[in-house]
Structure 1
Amino acid sequence: MTALHQRWTVFSAAPHRLMFCAGSVQVVLALLYWSVELGTRQAGGGTLPTALAATWAHALLMLYGVFPFFIFGFLMTTYPRWMNGRELGRRAYVPAWAALVAGQALVWGGLLALGRPALLAGLVAMLAGWAWAVAQLYRVYRSTPAGDKRHETVLNGALALGWLGLAGFAAWLAAGWPFGLAFALQAGLWGFLLPVFFTVCHRMIPFFSACVLADYQVVKPAWSLPLWCAGSLLHGALELAGAPQWTWLVDLPLAATALWHSAAWGLLRAQRIRLLGVLHLAFAWMGVGLALYGVQSLALLGGGHAPLGRGPLHALAIGFFAAMVVGMASRVTLGHSGRPLVADTYTWACFLGVNAAALLRVAGDALALPALTLLAALVALAAFAAWALRFAPIYLRPRADGRPG
């Protein structure tokens, strides 16, 4: 076996290795691009000359170009375990990874130099990789005997909506279809990312907590998952219909139930153990973000402007999604590389950095201070670059305990 083949064998030994490594590179690139864009604006240099307007490029990268790598890496690892099925082999996950990576390479090339045809080709490749990944997950879902598949059913639907959202973005790019862009923005957040993240939290946070906290009572009410799904989809539908002043009708109940879950799941108790505490703290941002959306909606209903700008969006995107990626991907990486399940001070600092970025971004919008927005991007970039520097090399090395995977 050649050295190159041996390295590939290690790197491709498990889906999370390939996907998390690509995701760690992608998040650093996306944040670097956005930091340069914001810095150029602050310096009075206008906007970067990309094939798409910077706002839409940023939305594409963050909704569809970063988180899917972590989501597919996590689900392709956990789906068989959740449903007592056989682990996925390389033929199941390598093609998905290859298509998604090739697609992102074309997206970057199209944005920065090659123009819209290359960008569109990248989206088509991403759609192909996404469809392949979903098909493999659905095969596990259909073939396993597990009786309770509520969480997996929601995840299947969210992944399908995410694919449709990306297809809508491609349709807008190819044919100038305005609804395609509008649908892509709402489906990406409210139909895909938020349902995926709260569903994984609903299943895993009580489980992880029960594993390490003494006398822990698992709270996993049957009503919360369908309520959150319905509310998230309804919010997206209201936004798509041009009625953000009415989203408070769902935002505030969703916020209240999310914050109740944070308390019931033991947010404060969990802080005794950092690797568990990061998951609880990240989830708490769901309640905060939705509450901010509710406040914003009520302000619009009263005839005012949107006082928080994109603060509520970034409370979810940075505080909940990005911070949860640091927490969950760190846990999966450590556990599946044969290392102790401990968040050391370095990892903890990376997590706190992402939370600081969320606070700065929300404050920047609320106070209308673009300098804080740039600072938030730089802090997020530093935090994720430091995290990637620590964790990305692990995916290229054999397990520390000598076991396969």
Structure 2
Amino acid sequence: MSSTAEQMRAWRGPAILTFGFRPFFFGAAVWATLAMALWIPMLSSALVLPTDFDPVSWHAHEFLFGYLAAVIAGFLLTAVPNWTGRLPIVGWPLGGLFALWIAGRIVVGVSQVLPPLFVAAVDLAMPAALGAVIAREIVAGKNWRNLIVLSMLAVFTLANGLFHWEAAHGLYAPQGYGLRLGLGAGMMMIAVIGGRVVPSFTRNWLAKRGGGRLPTPPMQRLDKAALLVLLAALLMWVIWPHYLLTGIVLLMAGIAQAVRLVRWAGYRTGPEPLVAILHVSYAFVPLGALAIGAEILWPGTFGTAAAQHLWMAGAVGLMTLAVMTRATLGHTGQPLTAGVGTVGIYTAVLIAVLARVGAGFWPNAQDWLNVVAGLGWIAGFGGFATVYGPLLLRLPPDKRPGG
């Protein structure tokens, strides 16, 4: 095949297997919706899953290593062909990767009746296979600058394995090394990849409007310094989560990332929510670092769970939603603008984040705030599956076989 378009036209199977973003973005949104719908009754013990994880461990694992892993897969399988100039993976090989991800969700959910080693092996199979695929493409395309992305994926996969090990040994995994390492890897992915795409997409959109200040080009000296400070802060947080020095370095990282964000001219993007949401999402990276740092230095300021949800629900949830909406529109030939439905799903997830963080500030109201957060999350990601599902599940007329 000489082009991606020809490869897509030649495929005679389901349209969802014509590009990596299709199955994994749709699957991620469906799983985010379903997992939250299960989690709300689990909070009140109205539902008990046959999983060997305690309820909080299952919740944390499935949103970090279940949902986020799917979005990472969809993004990388779509972006790496652009980075390397090689053809994307389509058809049954893509379907096989997606099936491995589904298998991971199933075995974790019924892990009470399965050996822990088997559960971990099945759950780690998709990210491990994805890493092998991405490594092959980077090496074949001699795209060495993106080895950093592969290294972050490797750390994320290692963190998932560590989470399984901690849970199997009776440790409280949501406060363990595995979760912190996995969340730290996720933050570095957002900081590195988001640090490229947010100013680039913003510049492209502002340039079309004409006039005014444009974002500072990505990966200048300040960007690199801010990334190094963030990396140091995350490593310290993973290893020494309660040390005062860790809190201080996290505050430094938060300030550095905030300065970095200000340089991208986000204040000019209000007229286009598809661009503005990138800046709002990225803002949760410095906000989370500042909140976690403050919680270490002055315990009780935010509450550990609330502070971490600025990263987990805010940075991860909103940024992945922003990337999924933009990538889906762009790769299906739609105008790069946010319609009413897209604005609605952004708003729903933002409400969910604020409600979840608010539950840490107002413990007396946390029961109903957690329900609001869960319902907002379901509305946001269920809305994505509803609004964007037709684009993901069907090919445009000119990409269909014979089109």
Residues 229 and 55 (structure 1 numbering): CA distance in 2 closer, same or farther, change over 3 Å?
Answer: farther
The alpha carbon displacement at 1:126 in A equals 2.3
Name 2:99's counterpart in structure 1. Answer: 98
Residue pair 2:32, 2:381 contacting (<8 A) in 1 also = yes
Match of 1:365 among 351, 360, 363: 360
Matched letter for residue 129 of structure 1: M
Match of 1:196 in 2: 189
What's the CA shift string for 1:167-206, capped at 9, x where partnerless? 112323445477998221111111x211112222011111
Partner letter of residue 17 of structure 1? Answer: R
Q: Deviations over 1:179-235 (max 9, x none)?
A: 998221111111x21111222201111111121112524432245346435534543
Tell me, in whole angstroms, the C-alpha distance in 1 between the residues paired with 2:315 and 2:241.
Answer: 25
1:158 and 2:163 are equivalent in the alignment: no
Aligned equivalent of 1:77? 78
- Give the match's secondary structure for 1:341: coil
Aligned mates of 1:116, 1:229 — CA distance in 2: 44
Call closer, same or farther: CA 1:239–1:138 in 2, change over 3 Å.
closer
Q: Which of 118, 123, 134 matches 2:120?
A: 123
Task: Write the deviation string for residues 139-170 of structure 1: whole angstroms up to 9, x where unpaired.
Answer: 121122447x1xx2332111111111111123
> How far did residue 57 of structure 1 move?
0.8
In the other structure, the counterpart of 1:384 is 381
Superposition pairs for residues 226-265 of structure 1, below 5 Å?
A: 227-228=226-227, 231-232=230-231, 234-265=233-264
Contact 1:252 1:291 in 2 (8 A): yes
Identity percentage over the alignment? Answer: 23
Q: How far is 1:394 from its partner?
A: 2.2
Answer whether contact 2:20 2:74 (CA < 8 A) is retained.
yes
User: Contact 1:307 / 1:366 at 8 angstroms: preserved in 2?
Assistant: yes
Q: Distance in 1 between the 2:202 and 2:115 partners?
A: 46
Q: Which has the higher contact order (CA 8 A, sep 6+)?
A: 2
- For residues 174 and 352 of structure 2, what CA distance do their matches in structure 1 show? 30
Inter-partner Cα distance in structure 2 for 1:29 and 1:384: 9
Partner of 2:394: 397
Letter in 1 for 2:263: A
SS of 1:200's equivalent in the other structure is helix
1:63 — aligned with what? Answer: 64
Cα distance, 1:70 vs. partner? 0.8
- 1:8 pairs, out of 13, 19, 22, with 13
Match of 2:6 in 1: none
For 2:344, the equivalent position in structure 1 comes to 349
- 1:333 counterpart (317, 320, 328): 328
C-alpha separation between the residues in 2 aligned to 1:349 and 1:245?
A: 40
Q: Secondary structure at the match of 2:75?
A: helix
Moved more, 55-64 or 215-224: 215-224
**CA separation in 1, counterparts of 2:225 and 2:151?**
12
Of 171-180 and 325-334, more deviation after overlay is shown by 171-180
Residues 196-345 of structure 1 mapped to structure 2, 5 A cutoff: 196-214=189-207, 216-220=214-218, 221-225=220-224, 227-228=226-227, 231-232=230-231, 234-300=233-299, 305=300, 307-345=302-340
Measured against aligned partners, the alpha-carbon deviations of 1:214-270 in whole angstroms (never above 9, x if no partner) come to 252443224534643553454344443353443222211211122112211111112
What amino acid maps onto 1:171 in structure 2?
Answer: W
Q: Secondary structure at the match of 1:398?
A: coil
Match of 2:32 among 24, 27, 33: 27
Aligned partner letter, 2:54: A
Change (3 A) 1:373 1:236: farther
Indicate how the Cα distance of structure 1 residues 177 and 309 shifts in structure 2: closer, same or farther if over 3 A, else same: closer
TM-score, normalised on structure 2? 0.86
In structure 2, give the amino acid aligned to 1:13.
T
Distance 1:60 1:179 in 2: 9
How far 1:48 moved relative to its partner? 6.6
Give the letter aligned to residue 245 of structure 2: W
Structure 1 residue 50, shift from structure 2 partner = 4.7
CA contact (8 A) 1:339 1:401 kept: no
Where structure 2 has 5 or more consecutive residues not aligned to the other structure, the ranges are 1-9
Question: TM-score by structure 1 length?
Answer: 0.86
Distance in 2 (alpha carbons) for counterparts of 1:261 and 1:337: 31
Q: Deviations over 1:29-79 (max 9, x none)?
A: 1111222223x26xxx69777532111111111110101111110111111
Kept in 2, the 8 Å contact 1:107–1:120? The answer is: no
CA 1:318 to 1:94, structure 2 compared with 1: closer, same or farther past 3 Å? same
Work out whether residues 299 and 307 of structure 1, in 8 Å CA contact, stay in contact via their aligned partners in 2. no
Residue 285 of structure 1 and its aligned partner are, at CA, apart by 1.5
